[in-house]
Amino acid sequence: MKRKEELEMLKRTYWMILVLIMVFSLSLSGNSVMGQEVKISYSDWQLAQDIWGKSLREAIAEFERLNPGIKVETEPVALAQRDVKFTTAIRAGAGPDVFALDVNPVKQYIKEGWVKDVTPFIEKEGGQQWLSDFYPRTLMPVTEDNKVYGIPKNTVAMVIVYNSQLFKEAGIKSTPKNWKEFRDVCKKLTKATKPGGPVDQWGVAFVLAKACFDLRFSVVLRGFGGDFLTPDWKHSALNTPEAKEAFNYVVDLILKDKVMPPGVTQVDCNEARRLLAFKKTTMKIGTMWSITEVSGFNPDLHGWEVLEMFPIPQKEGVKSKIRSTLYQKSIFMNPNTKHPEAAWKLMKFLTDKKQMEKWFIDNNMLSCRKSVNDTYGPILQSKYASVVKREIENAAFLPLIPQWPECLEAFRVNLQAAIAKQKTPEKALMDAHNQIEEILSRK
């Protein structure tokens, strides 16, 4: 009798487990089974930012209005956690249907198959003719072996953003054209604002923490005629005299001239914006978004009136045209998406002409579409857009190779080691060079 009861209990337990598994499976696929509405998700680190997030959500609401059968779920993600979240989810067969990436990790995503080839969708839209409105250079990061994996959205070049009011107060009449002038201006602007008090205003703060280091620091190397890698991206170029000069220049600005605030090795892009917003620094390496971001930190600064831009200084006599770095944000489709048609519609919508104009009005961002940058009135009238658009001609992408994030980190930690006086600048640069050579030879 007891044995029978036990067997019954065992059977019941297994039935319950079976039912639970079925309910769980149904709940996972429920949305597409039960209703006609297609649900897709969109993830973007800028959804987590106030101004960008608002703008993106407005656009997505408009997309849903125009496409009644498609519902878009927005998934904000912190920039620092973006690749952790995306790569883990995509490897596990999940992840957002559509997502945004900057150019840094794109080649690795393509190599690993973490982004879907959207060439067939583009062919349906008209192929090369449909793509012709995008700057050819902006298609480079999203293209591999003649296959297109993403749609370029926004692009900008890095420039120097400065507080014109503080320049005027210091009697500086013209912006620096070369790095010598830049150093002199930094020295003039580093001072105690209260007589007899400690130094509380500095010339500039470079971003030396991990977040956003790549775009900012590269312009110094390039402004001296150097670069991280050789033009074919196969070897380190840090053993060149130009790279040495640029490296020593930055170390000297911090350690000898002391024109950057103490603790600059921990300054990330947000901290650099905050320092400029509260007049702790007078310059930063930035671009179009700096105006909205800095103004957001301190509305009393009146950023749109006070902040100005000038091109990246260049060492006199340097022949290379390239002195700045290009930023680009593109939209990609998850290879695991169950609704590729709806996902494509969203990709197309977020990168169409009308939305590109919206990104400029809301976020001061230039477009990857030539037609928008060349004909849209507010862009043509913008004092910032004119500087950045000109600088795009003198800018290049950072190396578009899968090993790039590791190469960059090797350089950054060695630069930090030189600033922290753990290594001499010569040793730090040579170590960075050797490490990058080892990384590039490995794969």
Would you tell me how many other CB atoms lie within 10 Å of the CB of residue 160?
A: 25
According to DSSP, the residues that pair with 162 across neighbouring strands are: 283, 308
State the minimum distance, in angstroms, from the CB of residue 278 to other proteins.
10
Q: Which is nearer to other proteins, 58 or 200 (CB)?
A: 200
Binding stretches for other proteins (CB under 8 A): 3, 6-7, 10-11, 13, 17, 83-84, 87, 91, 105, 108, 111-113, 198, 209-210, 261-266, 280, 402-403, 405-406, 409, 413-414, 416-417, 419-420, 422-423
Whole-angstrom CA distances from 191 to 23, 64, 254, 308 are 68, 53, 15, 21
Q: Which is nearer to other proteins, 254 or 372 (CB)?
A: 254
Cα gap 415→429, rounded to integer Å = 7
State the minimum distance, in angstroms, from the CB of residue 140 to other proteins.
20
Would you tell me how many other CB atoms lie within 10 Å of the CB of residue 322?
A: 20
Contacts of 261 (CB under 8 A, 6+ apart): 202, 205, 267, 275, 280, 281
State the minimum distance, in angstroms, from the CB of residue 398 to other proteins.
15
State the minimum distance, in angstroms, from the CB of residue 326 to other proteins.
21
Whole-angstrom CA distances from 340 to 115, 126, 197, 343 are 12, 18, 62, 5
State the minimum distance, in angstroms, from the CB of residue 116 to other proteins.
16
Cα gap 129→120, rounded to integer Å = 14
Contacts of 403 (CB under 8 A, 6+ apart): 439, 440, 442, 443
State the minimum distance, in angstroms, from the CB of residue 92 to other proteins.
10
State the minimum distance, in angstroms, from the CB of residue 162 to other proteins.
20
State the minimum distance, in angstroms, from the CB of residue 190 to other proteins.
13
**DSSP annotation of 224:** T
**Apex CA 44: angle with CA 228 and CA 403, to 5°?**
25
Q: Which is nearer to other proteins, 82 or 345 (CB)?
A: 82
State the minimum distance, in angstroms, from the CB of residue 69 to other proteins.
35
Cα gap 195→345, rounded to integer Å = 61
State the minimum distance, in angstroms, from the CB of residue 39 to other proteins.
28
Question: Collapsing DSSP states into helix, strand and coil, what is residue 119?
Answer: helix
Q: Which is nearer to other proteins, 319 or 442 (CB)?
A: 442
Q: Which is nearer to other proteins, 83 or 133 (CB)?
A: 83
Q: Burial of 316 by CB count in 10 Å (0-12 exposed, 13-18 middle, 19+ buried)?
A: exposed
Q: Which is nearer to other proteins, 180 or 427 (CB)?
A: 427
SS3 for 62-93, per residue? HHHHHCCCEEEEEEECCHHHHHHHHHHHHHCC
**DSSP annotation of 221:** H
**DSSP annotation of 259:** -
Contacts of 147 (CB under 8 A, 6+ apart): 117, 119
Q: Which is nearer to other proteins, 61 or 80 (CB)?
A: 80
Q: Which is nearer to other proteins, 225 or 261 (CB)?
A: 261
Q: Which is nearer to other proteins, 111 or 147 (CB)?
A: 111
113: left (phi over 0), alpha (psi -120 to 50) or beta: left
Q: Which is nearer to other proteins, 271 or 357 (CB)?
A: 271
